[in-house]
Amino acid sequence: MNAETSSPWKQALNSGLISGVICLLVMLVGLVESFGDTYIISGMITLGEIILLAPVIMLTYTALRSAANSSQRTMVGISAIIGLVSGCIITAFILLCQVVDLRFMFVNASPALFSLLMRGVPLPLGALVPPLTCLIASVVTLGIYLIPSRPRAAVIQGFLWVVVLGTLRDQILIIDVFKIQPFALILTRFVFAQSGLSILGALFVFAISAGLAYYLSGRKNRPAIIRSARVQKRNRIILIAILAVIVLSLPYALGLFYSEILDTTGLFIMMGLGLNIVVGFAGLLDLGYVAFYAIGAYTMGVLTSQLGGLTFWQALPFALVAAWLAGIILGLPVLRMRGDYLAIVTLGFGEIVRLLALSDWLKDNLGGTQGIQQIAQPIIGPLAFNSLQRLYYLILIGILIVAFVAWRLKDSHLGRSWMAIREDEDVAQAMGINLVLTKLLAFSTGALFAGLAGTLGAAKLTSVYPHSMTFIVSINVLVIIIIGGMGSIPGVFVGALVLVGLPRLLSEFQEYQYWFYGLALVAMMLFRPEGLWPEARRKLELHEAEGPIEPPIIETVSTGQ
Amino acid sequence: MSKRLLIIVSIIMISSMVLAACGAKPYECTDKIGCVTVAPTDPLHIAYAMVINGPDATLGIDSRNGAEIAVDDHGGKVLDHAIKFDGEDDGCSAEGGQAVGSKLAADPTIVAILGTSCSSALRVAMPLWSTAGFTVISASNTAPDLTLVGNENNYPGYLRTAHSDVVQGAAAAQFAYEQGFRKAATIHDGSIYAESLQQVFADEFTKLGGTITAQESVAPDQVDMSGVLTSIASGAPEFIYHPIFIAAGTQLILQARQTPGLENVIQMGADGMFSPDVMTGAGDAVEGVYVSSPDFTKFGADYAAKFLPAYQAKFGSAPVSIFHAHAYDAMNMVLACVEKVTVKDSDGTLHIPRQSLRDCMYATKDFKGLTGNLTCTPTGDCADPKIAVYQYHTGEYPPTKVWP
Amino acid sequence: MLKRWRQTLTWTDVVVYAIGVIIGIAVVYGTIRTWQKAEYTPEQWINLTIDGLKLGSIYALIALGYTLVYGILRMINFAHSEVFMAGPFTAVFLAIYLDDIGFYNAQPIISLLLITLLSATVSVTVALLLEKIAYRRLRYAPRLVPLITAIGASFFLQYTFRGFYGADVETYPNLDILKGTLTFGPITIPKTDLFVIVSGFLLMLLLYIIVQRTKIGKAMRSVSEDKEVAALMGIDVDRIIQFTFGLGGASAGIAGIMYAIIYQNVHAFMGFIPGLKAFTAAVLGGIGNVVGAWLGGTLLGLLESLGPNLFLSGMGIPSANQLKDGIAFAILVFILIFRPTGLLGERISKTKA
């Protein structure tokens, strides 16, 4: 980027205009009104207002950052301009809508929205409210910007936690652990109000989270204490033990609702680990991954429901073999295809499987539109895995197996062959790697993992419908491994928790879930393409274009996994 | 009278007061499942599980609106407690059903659930809700197996005010046969609802003596119908029954006229196509198209006189789907039974015994609802189904009733 | 010669060719059986063919956007389906307004021009915004990164427009002058279809001329060939890339109006499937060249329209039309087995990105 030579005022004006337009966009999409009654701090500020002011805050912040060397007066000026311009754009739109009712086109340009924007103040006085609120937002941002960096990070953390907890009020109160008295009493009467946090609660949360953040950031600056290897090992074991206890007690600590979310997330983790092998290790872009899940689920369904009569465990090997074979069958025609063609063909494969499952042609065997019901659930001796909480453990074991296999494969000869193919097929072939075998193994291993997830998914729902096997699911899995970090195994866990667990938690956002999804994807790719928990090698690759990197003195690769 | 008498009387009075206070024993819940206790200042929690997001959202939103009108008609209160009516999206799918099922099952403050919108969601959610003791009443589940005696998908605690597919499909077949059609074809859109309906139609039509020339299907968002229409045309049907939804339905109406062999064929949809959007979407081609739906003319006089104006006033438009009145009746049934079985303490605390609530619901007889006289069977079918057939004419909405 | 084959052919080649041959035999067998059964009249076949051509025109115009962008940037612009949707979904409100004031059918040609102009403008704007915000910074990133960005942008745009205009389907009012059919001998063709086929063809011709015969087209082709050298030759690469996106966007916006004329209903998710089919068409024809897009689109349209009735039902599959979408992909696999670069071959840069 060349150095900006235009005056800071012009830039501020520019930012203000952009911010105003983004505010308009957010308004018209309907976010502000939908969340206009979700209070963060009861009676004071709603989530809708925060969303509306978010563009103003972000653009003010970036503008201040790029004008970091200017005088204080300029900074005040910049923030004021951005705030006022954004607010004026909003007001201008409101006034426009008084003249022309735009609702035949923009369904959200309603009087209810406007009164929300003007905080209930009627026109003509109300017209001053948006510029005022935006101005306040930008000035507050300026204030935060001027705080020295350590307390600033703490303050920002404090605000974020207030927003998060205020939004998640309902979800927190459902947690079984928090239903125990006296917890429940404190939470429902003191910290939270009917909607969102109470004012006292908000101050409390802010104080604790900002304080904690400040304290922790202080500790980082102290010199690290070197501990002996034995002590380190002991600490690590203690940590793993604590983690294991937490993980194993989750379904019963958190309750039925969270168990369902954990189960679904677990299945996606399994699929993610599988696709990670195909896309992350071997670099083969598979957009039809849901087909293997479907094959696993349907095989289990067909064999255990009336049509077959086997038990879960009897049918499991058949389902796994079926998925594995499917991987090979998919792999064969696409062996010669290059990158993006491969993507389209695999997408087609996914669609074909779904169409076949839906079709009337195969209705007698596969159930057609009505799907297959009464699928058996796993039984070990006297223990039937027929509740969401119990299935969690089975899924957990599945994940551990799959993750272990993936981890070992990664550093094996096969794993390195995959990575070689990912980098450059021709060179890999020249080095003696059998392309055919390697690619087929990638597809089939990935398919196997998805098939396993499919069988457990079928048991979880005790039914399987073709309508669940859509392209969106393949995209979901792809996005999980991309956001988590391509080729990174811990990344799959992070990605699944963020992209599957979080939206389920925030079900109020459901209407806008994919909107946020899309936004998050674009933002991630622009600013952090290596994912949230990157594989070290990938990170180096992706930031290659940003200039030479000093050779790493300590190889982080071996410990990063 | 001396001091002594005064002391004795005071002691007697005080002790009787104390005894009265202690003697007001706290309510003991003897209900088989358990009781919901509502504190004096807390609201009574009734939840909904309907499809309120996504392409089928009009179905769930409309039902929820109908129930909200019922709440308003009660003044927003029952037994001096406010009614808290909130809920979740059921996604109209098994996954959605499991999600909403687990979420609501975890909330012990819920007394009853209105939902789900879609049968596929209910099958997965109901085991969870049945175990949790809730009373569940649906305004739009139409799958027959949900209230079939002995069927695996029939769980205690479930009722519905909506008709079953068996009724609507059979009515359509009867209509077609009575109109003189002997050769019919069906088209479904891959949804469980449409596929089930067209199968009932096909079976009933064949039983009456007609022949089904083809049973085809399209995708719900498909726009190019020429292939499927040409294929149907080769069987020369006189009547096409497509119980699908608006998007694909309007395309079929538009394109059937242009398909050689089908220029004069009569088309019929089901309640999914009872909507002003069909009229605007199909334009002139909609002339003569039939559609089946619950018989709105048989709804009580209150429907047109009170319910519709209230709906328009509260939500700014006419109802957008067809199960709003069923939801209204469902909510009223729940509130009526709540009033009947609840034990109210002198301080205002409510104790609602769950099994008694269920028993009361199943015992509903001749309940005067908007949709008719509702009497519940032991498996939960409460509907008083009257299906009518309407016919569209260009530019007119709603379509006019032609049968029975 | 056999010996040379023996040396270059591997087992996988044999298996893969066998798969291709099986698909081919299935198609031929199904076709022959259908001819034998003679279920359909010639009139119906003609009807299906015209339908296929009309579909093909729309696919071809959308495919142009994919193929040009891929040629220049080596990336699948997944969000192009939303570029296609944005135009007609916005222009529908103008159409409804014009219809309300009676202008629509009083001056149909001017109305159509206005609507097309609006649609193209909106689509171009969306395309340019996409390029500037989402793609420009990622030009040299590994292949998957812009693809994921495109997928994210696609979702974002779908839901943004759904938020703006509502989740309902909007309908284009009928144009009286396009009502009815025309008859040429044994062929009866609806006026809308004829309009779409003819204008689609003319438009493709226009675009072909732009790409092949104008100066800016030459610049486009040279940037496709090799970005760095083109920059050395004094071509403003950024400008040309913007122009390419704009051209693809305009063509998609116009395709959107054609789609609207035929199918009349528009909504926020209308772009997904046509976008997918159009990309398949682009690959089928050979990505990177305009004629390939046209050929692929037309071929795909015909196959989709004729396919189920032609060979699937002949193979004895009941309710064959359900699998219509699967045919497109099966044919794609078939073509890519025997001709991996598409029918007309690719015209893209040899060097990566």
Task: Provide the mean pLDDT of chain A.
Answer: 84
Q: Which residue has the tokens 């040609």?
A: C109
Does the residue B123 lie in any domain?
A: yes
Q: CB–CB of C39 and B234 under 8 A? A: yes
Residue B140 carries which DSSP code? S
Chains that touch C (3 or more CB pairs under 8 A): A, B
In this prediction, residue A2 carries a pLDDT of 43
DSSP state for residue A477 in the 8-state scheme: H
Are residues A456 and A394 in contact, defined by beta-carbon separation less than 8 angstroms? Answer: yes
Rounded-to-integer distance, Cα C198 and Cα C203, Å: 9
- Min Cα separation B229/chain C (Å): 9
Q: Does one domain contain both B317 and B257? A: no
pLDDT attached to residue A544: 62
Residues 6+ apart with CB under 8 A from A193: A39, A42, A43, A201
User: What phi and psi values does residue B389 have, to the nearest 5 degrees?
Assistant: -115, 130
In a shared domain, residues B192 and B134? no
Q: How confident is the model at residue A1 (pLDDT cuts 50, 70, 90)?
A: very low
Which of these, B258, B201, A465, A552, lies nearest to C263 by C-alpha position? B258
Same domain, B249 and B334: no
Q: Which CATH number characterizes residue B203's domain?
A: 3.40.50.2300
Distance between CA C291 and CA C297 in Å, rounded? Answer: 10
Element (H, E) at B343: strand B343-344
User: In Å, how far is A257's CA from the nearest CA of chain B?
Assistant: 5
Integer Cα distance of B197 and B166 in angstroms: 7
- The chain A residue lying nearest C278, using CA atoms, is A344
ipTM score of the complex?
0.85
Q: Which of A435, A459, A482 is a domain's end point? A: A482
Residue B289 covered by a domain: no
How far is residue B198's CA from residue B182's CA, in Å, rounded to a whole number?
16
A561 pLDDT tier (thresholds 50, 70, 90): very low
Query: Taking 80 as the threshold, does the pLDDT of residue B347 lie above it?
Result: yes
Strand partners, C170: C266
| Distance between CA atoms of residues A122 and C151, nearest Å | 42
Q: Which of C122, C333, C334, C352 to mutate to test the interface with A (most CBs of A within 10 A)?
A: C333
Strand (E) positions, A423-483? 463-464
The region of weakest confidence among A345-359, B96-110, B290-304 is B290-304
Q: Which of B68-77, B90-99, B316-325 has the lowest mean pLDDT?
A: B316-325
The residue that leads in pLDDT, C41 or B335, is B335
Determine which helix (DSSP H) or strand (DSSP E) holds A449, and give its type and residue range.
helix A435-461
pLDDT at A324 over 90: yes
Q: Amino acid identity of C160?
A: T
Test the C interface: residue of A525, A526, A532, A542 with most C CBs within 10 Å: A525
Sheet holding B183-188, edge to edge: B211-217, B183-188, B239-241, B266-269, B290-294, B387-393, B396-403
Q: Do A467 and B190 touch (CB under 8 A)?
A: yes
* Chain B neighbors of A372, CB-CB under 8 A: none
Mean pLDDT is lowest, of A3-12, A525-534, B176-185, C143-152, for A3-12
Final residue before a domain boundary, out of A103, A124, A146: A146
Region A258-286 average pLDDT:
91
Q: Are B101 and B128 in contact (CB under 8 A)?
A: yes
Measured in angstroms, the CA of B207 and the nearest CA of chain C are apart by: 22
Structure letter (DSSP) for residue B144: G
Residue pLDDT, tens place only, A63-121: 888 877 778 888 888 888 899 999 999 999 999 988 888 888 888 888 888 888 888 88
DSSP B109: T
Flag whether pLDDT at B264 surpasses 90.
no
Mean pLDDT of A515-536: 84
Q: Assign B243 to helix, strand or coil.
A: coil
Using CA atoms of A522, A524, A529, A533 in order, give the dihedral in degrees to the nearest 10. Answer: -150
Per-residue confidence band for C344, with pLDDT thresholds at 50, 70 and 90: confident
Provide mean pLDDT across the span A267-293. Answer: 92
B96 and B174, same domain (yes or no): no
Rounded to an integer, what distance in angstroms lies between the CA atom of residue B227 and that of residue B247?
A: 17
Residue B12 lies in a domain: no
Residue where a domain terminates, one of A146, A180, A213? A146
According to DSSP, the residues that pair with C171 across neighbouring strands are C265
The CATH class that applies to domain C2-338 reads mainly alpha
**A560 pLDDT higher than 70:** no
List the structure tokens of A344: 């389209």
Residue A37 has pLDDT above 80, yes or no: no
Instruction: Check pLDDT > 70 for residue C349.
Output: no
Residues of chain B positioned with their CB less than 8 A from the CB of C300: none
Which carries the bigger pLDDT value, residue A178 or residue C130? C130
Question: pLDDT digits over B137-180, tens only?
Answer: 999 998 888 888 888 888 899 999 988 888 889 999 999 999 99
User: Which of A363, C262, A412, C291 has the alpha carbon at shortest distance from B250?
Assistant: C262
d(CA B72, CA B66): 10
Establish if A229 belongs to a structural domain.
Answer: no
* pLDDT tens per residue across span A535-557: 776 666 667 655 554 454 444 44
pLDDT in tens, C292-316: 999 999 999 998 888 888 877 777 7
For residue A409, being part of any structural domain is answered with yes
Q: Is B227 a domain residue?
A: yes
Q: At what angle do helices B308-315 and B57-73 cross, to 10 degrees?
A: 110
Share of chain B above pLDDT 70, in %: 95
- What sign has the CA pseudo-torsion C325, C330, C335, C340? positive
pLDDT at C352 over 70: no
Query: DSSP letter string over C176-210?
Result: GGG-SEEEETTEEEEHHHHHHHHHHHHHHHHHHHH
Q: N- to C-terminal Cα distance for chain B?
A: 86
pLDDT digits (tens, 9 = 90+) for C206-244: 999 998 899 999 999 899 888 889 999 999 999 999 999
Q: What is the mean pLDDT of residues B17-33?
A: 65
Separation CA C231–CA A298 (nearest Å): 54
CB C67 within 8 A of CB C289: yes
For chains B and C, what is the number of CB pairs under 8 angstroms?
A: 85
B340 versus C12: the higher-pLDDT residue is B340
Name residue C161's amino acid.
F
Task: Say how far apart CA C50 and CA C22 lie, in whole Å.
Answer: 29
- A282 three-state secondary structure: coil
- Are A462 and B124 an interchain contact pair (Cβ–Cβ within 8 Å)? yes
Question: What does the alpha-carbon distance between residue A467 and residue B193 come to, in Å, rounded to a whole number?
Answer: 13
Number of domains in chain A: 2
What pLDDT shows up at residue B183?
Answer: 93
Q: How confident is the model at residue A3 (pLDDT cuts 50, 70, 90)?
A: very low
Q: Is the model's pLDDT at B271 over the cut of 80?
A: yes
In percent, the amount of chain C with pLDDT more than 70 equals 95
Mean pLDDT of chain C: 86
φ/ψ of residue C142, rounded to 5: -60, 160
The verdict on a CB contact (< 8 Å) between C159 and A343 is: no
Q: How many CB atoms lie within 10 A of CB B392?
A: 25
Measured distance CA(B385)–CA(B326) in Å, rounded = 11
How far CA C329 is from CA of A289, C21, C211, C304, C341, in Å, comes to: 16, 16, 29, 10, 15
The listed range with the strongest mean pLDDT (A244-258, B146-160, C118-132) is: C118-132
Name the strand (E) or helix (H) holding B247.
Answer: helix B246-256
pLDDT-derived band at A25, boundaries 50, 70, 90: very high
Choose the weakest-confidence range: A353-357, B287-291, C188-192, C271-275.
Answer: C188-192
What does the angle CA B353 – CA B357 – CA B360 come to, to the nearest 5 degrees?
A: 140
**What is the sign, positive or negative, of the torsion defined by CA atoms of C222, C223, C227, C230?**
positive
- Look at residue A177 and tell me whether its pLDDT is greater than 90: no
Tell me which chain A residues have a C-beta less than 8 angstroms from the C-beta of B217.
Answer: 360, 369
Classify B187 as helix, strand or coil: strand
Average pLDDT score over residue span B92-119:
89
Number of neighbouring beta carbons within 10 Å of residue B386 = 17
Interface test with B, best of A101, A177, A256, A507 (most B CBs within 10 A): A256
SS3 B257: coil
B16: in domain? no
Residues in chain A: 561
**Residue B57 C-alpha from the chain's centroid:** 14
CA angle (A195 as vertex; A192, A198 as ends), nearest 5: 40
Which pLDDT score, from 0 to 100, does residue C7 have?
Answer: 63
- Cis amide leading into C108 (omega within 30): no
Q: Which domain holds residue B62?
A: 35-162+299-386
The answer to whether residue A389 is domain-embedded is yes
The answer, yes or no, to whether residue B23 has pLDDT greater than 50, is: no
Of the ranges A135-149, B323-337, C18-32, which is most confident? B323-337
CB contact under 8 A, A369 and B53: no
Mean pLDDT for A35-53 is 83
Query: Where in the sequence is the domain holding A287, given as residue range(s)?
Result: 255-482
Instruction: Tell me the whole-structure pTM to 2 decimals.
Output: 0.85
- Partner-chain contact B89 A370, CB within 8 Å: no
- Name which residue leads in pLDDT, B6 or A432: A432
- On whether the CB atoms of residues A482 and A287 are closer than 8 A, the answer is no
Measure the CA–CA gap between A408 and A395, rounded to whole angstroms.
Answer: 20
pLDDT on residue C132: 93
B186 contacts chain A (CB < 8 A): no
CB A380, CB A407: distance < 8 Å: no
B133's CB contacts (< 8 A; 6+ apart) are B33, B34, B157, B354, B355
Least confident range from A162-176, A402-416, B274-288, C49-63: namely A162-176
Quote the percentage of chain A above a pLDDT of 90: 23
Contact state of A512 with C163 under an 8 Å Cβ cutoff? yes
Minimal C-alpha gap between B286 and chain C (Å): 13
Q: Could you tell me if B63 and B134 lie in one domain? A: yes
Q: Does the pLDDT of residue A457 top 90, yes or no? A: yes
- Strand B350-353 to B211-217 pairing: unpaired
Strands B77-78 and B81-89: antiparallel
Average pLDDT rounded to a whole number, residues C79-99 = 93
Q: What is the pLDDT of residue A558?
A: 45
Task: For CA atoms A119, A123, A124, A127, give the dihedral sign.
Answer: positive
Mean pLDDT of B82-105: 89
Look at residue A446 and tell me if it is in a domain. Answer: yes
List the beta bridge partners of residue C181. C190
